[in-house]
Structure 1
């Protein structure tokens, strides 16, 4: 009996090690596997132009996922991010006549207002994050389509340069996404705000008893998520040189949640892994590109993302059983 118990204990320990490794490094292994597969079986994948294209396309996913990581780290969620992108592109189109900087300012202001409403509903009114942000997801998409009912060309030399230009071969939009990832990562790891955010996500009642400014931190989290989504909408508009509120940002919340969760940030909050989120965004883009390049319909991407989310949540749950 003792030998049986010892064997079961060893299997449990080995299983836990595998689970821990998957949550910590599984996303990087997934990225590496997709890279190897594409290098071997996808024509022209290793070209500089293809890597540049992938970098441009992953940038909006990453930027939105950074805000989502903050929301999930606080034991919340932000389903309105895709609609904020739509609102951002509508505002850019309407105010571009005053110059790209004015259009950017108005777009960021719109994202901040949406985030403020989300944060106020969650932190001050006590509405569940999924309910509050779902309401804004529907409302913002509708407002964007009221402001700009149809697709409209966005012709501006500065925005075109931002969307298609590069520095030392690295696209501007990818550089901006990288800088934002570093800023958010430092904010989470090195600032009082980051420590408070993680404490709130770990246990909001305990954070309140400890005297932490829970309401203020939550409002800042959702305002940050709204602003980041607006940045992503602005950059996507600059890249496409068109504004289409009915399409831009559709299902972006799914991609952002997938990137965050598969990157090792648990849905239960209390932890934020920005490096994992970056890798998760790259994984989502590589998965999408792989399916497209091998002539599979884009609907398969959504199925694949759903499977990835389920697997990541399962791994996180198993790790939480320790």
Structure 2
């Protein structure tokens, strides 16, 4: 019994515990009530099934969430990622419609995402504008920019190379999933194998102290917003490629909320400091698994937002200091051991 209690306390300290439990519960529900949910078939060299659909459909949110993780680790926020997605998709589709080469359209779409991220970074780091307000500007104006590029219409895409980005398969897997894995590996290498990750955590925890320590906080802040803009643009390329069209009105709508939720579910605190890319991956998969399950059960699409709202409330309650104190006290009472408040609710 003591061994079980010790294992419980250690597990509670893991940031990946809660999203892992959430995904496991949803998968268990599907195993019991959704016939064929775990069935995967190979057809024409491609893998098909609900689990593959979760990976494929969740790719745009996952990529945006990875970029958002770095911004939140800096104690910032970027609510413009949905608009940046629409701008990048519209730009790439517009150039393809004008018969520009695929590589030019791709670079332009990703480049405009980088410029949007640079704009947000300069507003926050240089002009000292509060992150919510700074990114609200592009959230509002971005849709208008995307509509100006597309002329207010849905631009259809027929370029086979572009369509492969979001709709193609490689080694049996959707190519978009492979792109998401590449982004994850790249960001992990940057943040965990270089000093950048340490500097980012230092700036997020205490910007003033990090500057006294010799860290150029302004560069760090601009860099994370640029990375977030690039990730949003790449997600826009994938989304527009998958539907073979760019919809400036609806592309990326509410994606910023899903991205923030995925980051928070993954254990990264909105207060900045330490961040968890692996937790963000689980958070994004949790959201997409939940969404796919709701659609599979035939629940109306408008109910998806209600379920997500319940999840947000639950996550917010978990992060409450008051509930952390109560939870810590319950563990101490049952185990007779002292547990740090933050560790108990991690």
| Correspondence list, 1:153-168, <5 A | 153-168=156-171
**Partner residue of 1:7?**
none
- Tell me which residue corresponds to 1:137: 139
- Residues 1-322 of structure 1 aligned to structure 2 (within 5 Å): 17=9, 20-21=12-13, 23-48=15-40, 49-50=48-49, 51-96=51-96, 97-148=99-150, 149-318=152-321, 321-322=341-342
Q: Residue deviations 1:70-126, cap 9 Å, x none?
A: 100000011010001100111011111212211111111111111111000000000
- 1:196 is displaced (CA, Å) by 0.6
Q: Tell me: CA distance 1:253–1:18, structure 2 relative to 1, closer, same or farther (3 Å).
A: farther
Q: Secondary structure in 2 aligned to 1:126?
A: coil
Alpha carbons 2:15, 2:279 under 8 Å: kept? no
Q: Distance in 2 between matches of 1:86 and 1:118?
A: 16
Structure 2: 5+ residue stretches without partners: 41-47, 325-339
Deviations 1:99-157 (A, max 9, x none): 22111111111111111110000000000111101111111111101211111211111
SS of the counterpart of 1:125? coil
Contact in 1 for aligned 2:94/2:155 (Cα 8 Å): no
Aligned length: 309
Following TM superposition, by how much is the alpha carbon of 1:293 offset from its aligned partner in structure 2, in angstroms? 1.0
The answer to whether the 8 A contact 1:87-1:140 is kept is yes
Q: Using the TM superposition, give the Cα deviation of residue 248 of structure 1 relative to its aligned residue in structure 2, in angstroms.
A: 0.6
In 1, Cα distance between equivalents of 2:148 and 2:242: 23
Question: Which has the larger share of helix?
Answer: 1
The answer to whether the Cα contact below 8 Å between 2:11 and 2:17 also exists between their aligned partners in 1 is: no
Contact 1:23 1:312 in 2 (8 A): no
Q: Tell me, which stretches of 5 or more residues in structure 1 are unaligned?
A: 1-12
Equivalent position SS for 2:269: coil
Q: CA deviation at 1:296?
A: 1.3
Q: Deviations over 1:200-222 (max 9, x none)?
A: 11111111221211000100000
Return closer, same or farther for 1:291/1:303 CA change in 2, 3 Å cut-off.
same
Q: Which residue of 2 aligns with 1:3?
A: none
The alignment yields a C-alpha RMSD, in angstroms, of: 2.0
- Aligned residue for 2:109, secondary structure, equals helix
| Displacement after TM superposition at 1:54 (Å) | 1.8
Distance between the aligned counterparts of 2:123 and 2:85, measured in 1? 20
Deviations 1:215-259 (A, max 9, x none): 001000000000110000001111110110101100000110111
Distance in 2 of aligned mates of 1:187 and 1:315? 30
- Cα offset, 1:56, TM superposition: 1.2
Take 2:305 and 2:102, find their aligned partners in 1: how far apart are those partners?
34
CA distance in 2, matches of 1:159, 1:306: 35
